[in-house]
Amino acid sequence: MDARHVFKRIEENYELSKAHLTCSDRSKRFIEMRQFMCNFLRDESPMSLKQIGRALCRDHATIINSIKKFNDRMDTDQEYANRYADFVFYMKRNDSDKERDKALKILELIESKPTIGDRLLVIQNLISDGSEVV
């Protein structure tokens, strides 16, 4: 997994762009996401600390500090650890999981209709106009 893939997943799941993560803004949300990204890339990619820093427009010393802060918080803050576990889940989730979830939502929508005619109408609409299920 590379930084581009992680940036893409963060944007999809957390609505934070690469610009948000590489800017100098020190908002809690941005700092936390950068810490998650640094640790995840260190553990799950062959990227060096210098390469991770370059991806985030930081130097390697900043990445080392970010990982240290990450480890300190993981040891003392259960909510933070839970958010990181969710982050890892989203990062490792593959596209087939998304397609399966979409298919399950379609089935739930169809099954929620009380009559066969209503169910057929849902299927017809999906086929004819490609309606998305949200």
Q: Tell me the pLDDT tens digit for each residue of 46-94.
A: 999 999 999 999 999 999 999 999 999 999 999 999 999 999 988 887 7
Q: Which residue is listed with tokens 């803050």?
A: 77
Please say whether the beta carbons of 36 and 70 come within 8 A. Answer: yes
DSSP letter at 15? -
Q: How far apart are CA 54 and CA 28, in angstroms?
A: 21
Q: What is the pLDDT of residue 134?
A: 44
pLDDT grade, residue 132 (50/70/90)?
low
Rounded Cα–Cα distance for residues 66 and 90 (Å): 21
Please say if the pLDDT value at position 7 is more than 90: yes
